[in-house]
Structure formats: structure tokens, C-alpha cells
Amino acid sequence: MPGVVVTGAAGRMGREVLKAIWNAEDVELAGAVDTRCAGEDIGSLLGFGETGLIIDADLEGTLDRRKPDVMVDFTEPRSVAVNVRTALEHRVCPVVGTTGLSREEIAEIIALSEELKVGGLIAPNFAIGALLMIKFAAEAARYFPAVEIIELHHDQKLDAPSGTAVKTAETILERRGDPPRRQVAEMEKLPGARGGEFAGGVRIHSVRLPGLVAHQEVIFGGVGQTLTIRHDSITRESFMPGVLLAVRKVTYLREVVYGLENLLFE
């Protein structure tokens, strides 16, 4: 039974992860890390009585004391890379849901994991439906010449575009290569109105509003028709089956992989 430490435990996603692991019968909650509520019992975050597990402020010390098998990280872009390297150096498998890692940082993490022979996962999205959306979009890209992505998230999300949108664009381009370039000379009356242009001409539009959780549309255009593929995460519970799947499987890996589809569709 893998023991799990959760970093970013006091955040909205962190609390959901704590609850999911606590309630799962085949994984064990070994500890939690968050500077915002260090010293409190984990039960205060879960909404019930004392558990005997105290939230720590120091990740490295927690890994030394608790000796978990897996670290689940839902923190913020500024700290995630350091957290992942710390976990790998302690031979703890990272499961990373924090977005904002650069391509260079991801490559460095994968290289370090290969050197240490420690498995892990960096996932832009843990919702099974979102993975299927990306898979379906990659298939549709074979038949439609143009595509744009609209991603919508809550107003507290720090990075834009989302990791899911970037992963979608990457997967589409891997499947079909660079699309034909638009021949029309565009004029943006308001800079940024056409969104950000990803490699290969795929435009991504980011929306941030209160009331949203995580949503994405992939809109394809062809002669006389359009195709829209959309996924909506209504609550953060939608990500928990994917998180638990990752926790159960990463200890069998010998390197960090990018994308939950590597575990789901293997």
C-alpha cells in the first residue's frame, strides 16, 4: 500500500486530494505539507476530528520523517520544480498536478528521474474526460485544416494558457504536423483579441472568471462545417479518479512521464 504525502494541502485541490486518499482503501495518507496551516491536524482540513497527522511546513523534513512512496503536488508554479526535484532526490515518486512548468523544466525533471530511476507523473489534467477530449481532438485534426482552443478556468488560476490547452495543442501538432498558414492578413484592433499563437499556428484563448472550475473547447473548422469538442469539470472531484490512478501506478515506473494518458491508455 503506497504511502502518500500531499503538498499544497490547504489549497482547494490539495483538500480534495487529502479527502480522496484518506477515503481510499488501497493507499495511505502519510502526511501533508503547507506553510499556510502548519501545525494543524489534517482533520481540520478534511472537516472532521483529529487524525493524529500534523501538517508540516518543510517538505524535505517531511519526506525524511514520513518516508512516503509518493508525493502529490498541487502547489504553485514558483515552487513545483523545487518540490519535484526534492522528491526525486529522496527516491519519492512525484505526481504533479501543478501547471506552469516550462518545457525546459519538464525535460530536466525527466532527465533527473531517468538518472535516479525513480518514476513519476506530470499531468496537465487528471480528469478522464479531459484526456478523452485531447485524444478525440488529435483524431479530428487529421480531417480539419484549422483549429482554435478556448480554455476557461476560475479567476485564481495563476498561469495562462492552461497546461491542458498546451498539451492539446502539442498533441494536435504531433498528429498532423504544422497546419496550412492563414492567407488573410489579420488586424487586431485590440492587442491579444485573437489569443496567443502556439507553435504551428494553433491559437489559444484563456478566460478567467469566478464561478468556473476547468473547461475547454477545441473548435475545428473546415469547408462548410465546424466541429466542437468540449469538456467541463464541474467540481474538483472530477480529478480524483485520475489522481488515485497515478498514485497506484507511478511506483512501477522508472522515470517521470508527461501526461496521464501514458498510464490510462497504456
Task: Name the residues annotated as catalytic.
Answer: 153, 157
Phi, psi of 247 (to 5 degrees): -60, -40
Residues 120, 101: contact at Cβ < 8 Å?
no
Please name which of 68, 66, 74 lies closest in space to residue 34, comparing C-alpha atoms. Answer: 74
Q: How far is the C-alpha of 228 from the C-alpha of 218, rounded, in Å?
A: 6
Within 10 Å of residue 43's Cβ, how many Cβ atoms?
15
Please name which of 96, 93, 101, 88 lies closest in space to residue 123, comparing C-alpha atoms. Answer: 96
Report the first-to-last Cα separation within the chain, whole angstroms. Answer: 22
Instruction: State the number of CA atoms in the 13 A half-sphere of 264 facing the CB.
Output: 21
Within 10 Å of residue 112's Cβ, how many Cβ atoms?
17
